[in-house]
Amino acid sequence: MHRTVFKSRWLPYVLVAPQMAVTVLFFFWPALKSLQLSLYRVSPFGDKSTFTGLDNFTKLLSDPAYYASVVNSVLFSGSVTVLAVLAALVLAGLATQKIRGLAIYRTLLLWPYGIAPAVAGIIFLFIFHPSYGILPYFLSFVTDYQFNWLLKSWVAMTLVIVATAWTHLGYNIAFYIAGLLAIPTSVIEAADVDGAGPIRRFVSIVFPLVSPITFYLVVLNMVFAFFESFGVIDAVTKGGPGQSTEILVYKLYRDGFIGLNLGSSGAQSVILMAMVITLTVLQFRFAEKKVTYR
Amino acid sequence: MSAVGTTRLEPVQARVQVAATPRQKGFPWSSLLVHALLIACIAVVVFPLYFAFVVSTQDLKQVVQRPPRLLPSTHMWENYAEAWQKSDMGVMLRNSAVMAVTVAVGKIVISMLSAFAVVYFSFRGRMLCFWMIFVTLMLPVPVRLMSTYEVIGTLGWLNTYQGLTVPLMASATATFLFRQFYLTIPNELAEAAQLDGAGPLRFLFQFLLPLSWANIAALFVVLFIFGWNQYLWPLMITNTEAMRTVVIGLEQLIPRSGTDLPTWNLIMAGAMMALLPPVAIIIFMQRWFVKGLVESEK
Amino acid sequence: MSETKTSRRPAVIALLLVAGLLLVPAAPAFAKTEIQFWHAMTGQLNDAVNALVKQFNDSQTEYEVKPLQKGNYAEALTAAIAAYRQRQAPNIVQVFEVGTQTMMLSGAILPVYQLMKEQEIAMDWKDFIAPVVGYYSKDGNLYSMPFNSSTPILFYNKDEFQKAGLDPTKPPQTWKQVEEYSKKLIASGASKCGFSTGWPSWVQIENMHALHDQPFATKHNGFDGLDVELLINREFGVKHMAQLVAWQKENVFSYGGRRGDADPKFLSGECAMYMQSSSLIGGFTKGASFKWATGQLPHYGAPYKRATSIIGGATLWVMKGKPANENRGTARFLKFISDTNQQMWWHVTTGYLAISNSAVKNLEAGYHFKKNPDQYTAFAQLTKGTATPNSQGLRLGNFVQIRDVIEAEMENVFAGKKTAKQGLDDAVAKSNELLKEFAAANKQ
């Protein structure tokens, strides 16, 4: 593919310099340091450090708490993704029908995206609160079951999943609306003429056409929920009850920042890095395929 | 009419036209059904926020009252004033604003420049730069948490605006967005500009920039919200009240040490103040946001 | 690269001379030496710290202490560590009691007794209250200055007691009474649950073991060495946990979360009794809408001795490597805050314990405790019991994580996922791992 390029000996370097500088200083250097840290046992004040090789890794990989937090992370991000993407598709589908007031509906659906997951968590914490939350209050009319998230880990997990999915909705809906709007009406009308009802139309035509968007959103939501949801956990459950909401990122923070175990924290960083790399490579592989599919 | 993923230079009007075209001739009851469903869903989605607002207008006794009151009460101004004062909201809002805007603008500028360089120049190390940027996609903050903290410490940037914003600035997503976009711009434009005698910088500012506004607007929304809602990084980097951002400050309003009692009405008032700016930005820039997403969707 | 500036040189010299002359009047003779003091107190406590510091600054002209709020305890500690590694540590940092072992072995601190010796400031170490000082001493020498210490006590709702037909002036003293009273309270509808607790590990495990003269860990609760193991899964620990679980079924006990998350249970009247830090007296005075009073923590009675409870809170540590004149200021500040008058003021203002016997005597003489009997409960619990080796305190490495582990397992037990013995066994196993790691990282 022939591209027109500009000729300059120094300009391109100047242009990439800022990004390169930040990348090296705040990505590569710390990443290498994490790698280095993971091979040592360091005392909190930094005065003693002993080389321990892969010790930190073996400790982690033989610690049931670590596997538990992997499971928690997968469960958490999987549920958030399914909930947020599915609900977004349905809502976007509704919001692109031929009805009046579309703009208002769309605005009302988009805005939760602006809420920080931590803030959403706090609001939901209050709503779910065993002592004075309104949700347990209303549920108590229906059943005697105690929805005490302080004791029951599934309630705590539900709480953080719902709070996080709630904030992602807006972003996903925006993408789906854009995608749905770009579907040529000719395709829809052809299906109409064929006698397909709205649901069949949706399933066999619309859904496949927006599958690239779906794929993109699934990956994005998963990555976001996996890595960036620290705020919700810290603001609401702090990993409890009994470590059932301790996701990988939270464990990393607790061990490194609060427990002052920099070696283990470094090892956890390295493992996380490996996971992200895998995910990103997978995403790019599939994305390339999907693009040619169109 | 074009489907997503092909040429991007379609005039925006065509898209708007698509949006306005009725897509199904339905019976009135089916559109009523849609209305009803939408309203129900929106009610569910909006309820938590509504409830938070209601609580922020109550006083402490009403908060713990059973059955809970679902209509706003009269203590709004006192609560907001007290929350403002107690957690020094003004300072925190300022910090969040500085952080969000700096990160958004900084990221956009840096990424635009490097994407431009990578696409429109051929220079030694071009592919190396490209791959280095690509790799950062795989290094989200938590992965380099403790060591970035140390780097910041070494630079003396702990508890400063620079430390707060710069490490968040160079992520590959924005660069890729711009790169993809530039790749869809026809060659002829660049050729014409060169023939005109325009240098690369003039090309960038006079030709590319005007075409990129939708992208930039959407990116700004996304990045502003990203910056405003950051939690982990500001938590670690700032440790004086003067530098706290609003999201962190809110978490601290929730007393955990047991020496203060939870004043949920104030906490909700704080939450409302914390989420107002980003939500306002979304509502205000909603149109560009959706448009920009269409054009930049990968 | 040299360049001849012969024509400009005289002018430059003249400029420098003038500048120098202008600077002379601003000579350091009037500049105070600054002492950086990092702490983690928020809200009213932050105000109290600032007021205390102001008293010191106003009382002399050589030094100025600058207090800086640095987040919560964990954040303040991490910030201090990071600063220390950049050689920019503060002079004084407030560290929570669970960080004691970390600080002691860090090689980054200057023990308080040594500081005072070097600065030749006489301190009456014997005047300090034994349980408080014991926690932070090694070989009889005080390493950090106690600042805000508290101990858990029992709070109870007098109005609800009355409603249930119980004597509102008599708090329960044994666990049996707690059970009895709770059942009466629930039966009469005065409250929904009998009692709850804050800081589950600190109150129900650490303090209960100490109070009943039971060892929490080997090696004299960690004071005597680093190869330590926990002992909380023995007969007493299991008995108490199992008892709590049994009581949970009848609502005699209701679990409300870690730290102070269960405070609302007491404040809303849901639970009539509550075991929490004595430092909550101030908060409850403001926030409770009912009459309440305090009592000592309940005890099982025979065959267990009644010892004393242990403290919680934080102390002030002095960082190493600071110039001598700053150390002098630090020493004078620490002496100031441990003086009787300041002790009394701090206690009355914040509710934290006064740590010297003279201060307590003065408070007694001034009828302070007669007017505020609740504030005496904590003192009584700490000093009137029989001090034993098991009630001196705990000195464990990685204690922050150990508490987390214990509380997580407690939650598993309360949720019915594990039996008391299982939960405690798991807690001990995990904690011992953490202790081993700490020992390895701090091989001396």
DSSP string, C293-324: EEEPPPB--TTS-------EEEEEEEESS--H
pLDDT of residue C444: 55
Which chains sit next to C, with 3 or more Cβ pairs under 8 A? A, B
pLDDT tens, residue order, chain A (294 aa) = 456 777 778 888 888 888 899 888 888 888 888 888 888 888 777 777 788 888 889 888 888 889 988 999 989 999 999 999 998 888 888 777 767 777 777 778 888 888 888 888 888 888 887 777 788 778 877 777 777 777 788 888 888 898 888 888 888 888 888 788 777 777 777 777 776 666 777 777 778 888 878 887 887 888 888 877 888 888 788 877 877 888 888 888 888 888 888 888 889 888 888 887 787 777 767 665 554 333
Residue-level pLDDT at A224: 81
Nearest CA of chain A to the CA of B10: how many Å? Answer: 12
Asked whether residue A124 is domain-assigned, the answer is: yes
SS3 (DSSP) at B277? helix
- Whole-number percent of chain C with pLDDT over 70: 93
**What are the contacts of B44-47 at 24+ separation with CB within 8 A?**
B45/A108, B45/A109, B45/A112, B45/A166, B45/A169, B46/A108
Q: Residue B8: its pLDDT value, please? A: 37
User: How would residue C5 be classed by pLDDT, with cut points 50, 70 and 90?
Assistant: very low
Number of domains chain C contains: 2
> In 3D, which of B181, B252, B257, B173 has the Cα closest to residue B215?
B181
- The tokens of C9 are what? 């040189």
Tell me the count of A-B CB pairs closer than 8 A: 328
* Same domain (yes/no): C137, C165: no
Q: What angle do CA C218, C220, C221 make, to 5 degrees?
A: 70
Per-residue model confidence (pLDDT) at position C173: 94
Contact call for residues B113 and A16 (beta carbons, < 8 A): yes
Structure tokens, B229: 């809602």
Cα separation, C245 vs A22, whole angstroms: 54
Are the beta carbons of A215 and A290 closer than 8 angstroms? yes
Tens-digit pLDDT profile for residues B229-279: 888 788 878 767 788 888 877 776 665 554 456 678 888 888 888 888 988
Q: Which tokens in the block code for residue C34? A: 């600054």
Per this entry, what is the length of chain A? 294
C-alpha C259/C-alpha C236 separation (Å) is 23
Average pLDDT, chain C: 88
Give the C-alpha separation, A61 to C422, whole Å: 23
Residue C293 has pLDDT above 60, yes or no: yes
Q: Is the pLDDT of residue B298 over 80?
A: no
Query: Is the confidence at residue C162, as pLDDT, over 90?
Result: yes
Whose CA is closest to B36, among A174, C347, C129, A101? A101
Question: CATH 1.10.3720.10: which residues of chain B?
Answer: 85-296
Shortest CB distance from A179 goes to which of B4, B138, B145?
A: B4
Asked whether the beta carbons of B53 and B272 are under 8 A apart, the reply is yes
| Confidence band, pLDDT 50/70/90 cuts, at residue B219 | confident
Check pLDDT > 60 for residue C269: yes
How far is C353 from B4, CA to CA, in rounded Å?
69
Residue C8 lies in a domain: no
Residue C260 is nearest to which of B86, B241, B256, comparing CB atoms? B256
**For chain C, how are helix, strand and coil distributed in percent, rounded to 5?**
50, 15, 35
Residue B201 Cα distances to A14, B108, B176, B198, angstroms: 12, 16, 20, 8
Residue with the two structure tokens 């299991």: C238
**A59, A150, A159: best to mutate for the C interface, most C CBs within 10 A:** A150
- Count how many domains chain A has: 1
Sheet holding C193-197, edge to edge: C193-197, C271-277, C152-157, C292-295
Q: Is A27 contained in some domain?
A: no
Q: What is the pTM of this model?
A: 0.80
Q: Output b/e per residue, C313-336; b: 16+ Cβ within 10 A.
A: bbbbbbbbebeeebbbbbbbbbbb
Reported residue count of chain C is 444
- What pLDDT digit, counting tens, does each position of B5-52 carry? 333 333 333 333 333 334 444 445 677 787 888 888 888 888 888 888
Closest by CA position to C203, among listed C267, C289, C262, C281? C262
Domain assignment present for A71:
yes
CA distance B24 to chain A (A): 7
Which residues face C110 on adjacent strands?
A: C318
Q: Which residue, A165, B283, A82, B28, is CA-closest to B36?
A: B28
C287/B240 CB distance under 8 A: no
> Which residues lie below 8 Å from residue B237, measured CB to CB, with a gap of 6+?
B149, B152, B158, B159, B163, B164
What's the length of chain B? 298
Distance from C-alpha of C131 to C-alpha of B268, rounded to nearest angstrom: 41
Q: What is the pLDDT of residue C113?
A: 94
A138 contact C CB<8A:
no
Facing residue for C408 by CB, picked from A45, A150, A243: A243
Q: Is A197 on the interface with B (CB under 8 A)?
A: no
**Does residue C142 sit in the same domain as residue C158?**
no
ipTM surpassing 0.95, yes or no? no
Contact call for B261 and C70, based on CB within 8 A: no
Residues C206 and C291 grouped into a single domain: yes
Q: Report whether pLDDT(C217) > 60.
A: yes
The answer on C183 and C38 residing in a single domain is no
Distance from the C69 Cα atom to the nearest Cα atom in chain B, whole angstroms: 6
| Cα separations in angstroms, C332 against B63, C34, C66, C121 | 47, 13, 14, 8
Q: Per the structure block, which two tokens stand in for C79? A: 């910030």
Name the DSSP class of A28: I
Question: Rounded to whole angstroms, how far apart are CA atoms C418 and A219?
Answer: 37
Q: Do C299 and C175 contact (CB within 8 A), yes or no?
A: yes
> Does residue C408 lie in a domain region?
yes
Chains that touch B (3 or more CB pairs under 8 A): A, C
A51–chain C Cβ distance below 8 A for any pair: no
Three-state secondary structure call for residue C397: coil
pLDDT mean over C341-353: 88
The parent domain of residue C54 ranges over: 32-150+311-365
C-beta atoms surrounding C229 within 10 Å: 14
Give chain A positions within 8 Å (CB) of C107.
Answer: 45, 47
B197 in A contact zone (CB under 8 Å):
no
Question: Would you state the torsion angle of the CA atoms of residues A286, A292, A294, B2, taken in this order, to the nearest 10 degrees?
Answer: 110
- pLDDT score recorded for residue B262: 67
C163 and C299 both lie in a single domain: yes
Q: Using the beta-carbon criterion (under 8 Å), do A277 and B148 form an inter-chain contact? A: no
Kindly list the distances between the CA atom of residue B21 and the CA atoms of A175, A200, B3, B56, C253, in Å, as whole numbers in the listed order.
Answer: 19, 21, 16, 42, 64
Q: Select from A19, A32, A256 the Cβ nearest to the Cβ of B110.
A: A19
| Range C392-408 average pLDDT | 90
What count of other Cβ atoms lies within 10 Å of the Cβ of residue B66? 10
- Contact between C113 and C125 under an 8 Å Cβ cutoff? The reply is yes
Among the partner-chain residues B61, B153, B260, the one whose CB lies closest to the CB of C43 is B260
Indicate if the pLDDT at residue C333 is higher than 80. yes
Tokens for B139, please give them: 């290094």
- Judge contact between B116 and A250, C-beta under 8 A: no
Contact state of C257 with A150 under an 8 Å Cβ cutoff: yes
Any domain includes C435: yes
Return the SS3 of C225: coil
Sole residue written with tokens 């060591």: B147
Whole-number percent of chain B with pLDDT over 90: 7
In A62-121, the residues whose Cβ lies within 8 Å of chain B are 90-91, 94-99, 102, 105-120
Residue of B nearest to C279 (CA): B259
Q: Are residues C40 and C175 in the same domain?
A: no
Helix (H) or strand (E) holding C201: none
Is C83 part of a structural domain of the chain? yes
The three-state DSSP-derived secondary structure of B124-183 is CCHHHHHHHHHHHHHCCHHHHHHHHHHHHHHHCCCCCHHHHHHHHCCCHHHHHHHHHHHH
Contacts of B288 (CB under 8 A, 6+ apart): B214, B217, B218, B221
Cβ separation A294–B21 shorter than 8 A: no
Q: What is the CATH number of the domain that holds C321?
A: 3.40.190.10
Domain range holding A157?
A: 60-293
CA distance A126 to A120: 10
Q: Can you list the pairs that A181-184 forms with residues at least 24 positions away whose Cβ atoms lie under 8 Å?
A: A181/A96, A181/B15, A181/B18, A181/B19, A181/B294, A182/B2, A182/B3, A182/B4, A182/B15, A182/B18, A182/B294, A183/A209, A183/A210, A183/B3, A184/B1, A184/B3, A184/B18
CA angle C52, C57, C58 (to 5 degrees): 95
Exposure string for C26-46, b = 16+ CB within 10 A, e = fewer:
eeeeeeebebbbbbbbbbbbe
In a domain, A85, yes or no: yes
For residue range B127-165, list pLDDT tens digits in order: 888 888 877 776 777 777 777 888 888 888 888 898 889
The span from the CA of B70 to the CA of C180, in Å, is 39
Closest CA to A114 of B297, B226, B48: B226
Q: Does A163 reside within a domain?
A: yes
CATH number of the domain at A244, please: 1.10.3720.10
Q: What are phi and psi of A6, to 5 degrees?
A: -90, 155
- What architecture is domain B85-296? Orthogonal Bundle (1.10)
Mapped onto helix, strand or coil, the DSSP state of residue A214 is helix
Given a cut of 80, whether residue B296 has pLDDT beyond it is: no
Rg for chain B (alpha carbons), in Å? Answer: 24
Q: Which chain A residue has the Cα nearest residue C80?
A: A45
Residue of B158, B248, B259, B260 best to disrupt the C interface, most CBs of C under 10 A: B259
Residue range C103-127, pLDDT digits in tens: 998 889 999 999 999 999 988 888 8
Which residue does chain C place closest to A50, by CA atoms?
A: C441
Q: How confident is the model at residue B75 (pLDDT cuts 50, 70, 90)?
A: confident
Are both C119 and C64 inside the same structural domain? yes
| CB-closest option in C76, C78, C279 to B259 | C279
Tell me the one-letter amino acid at C272.
A
Do residue C415 and residue C273 come from a single domain?
A: yes
Domain-embedded: residue C372? no
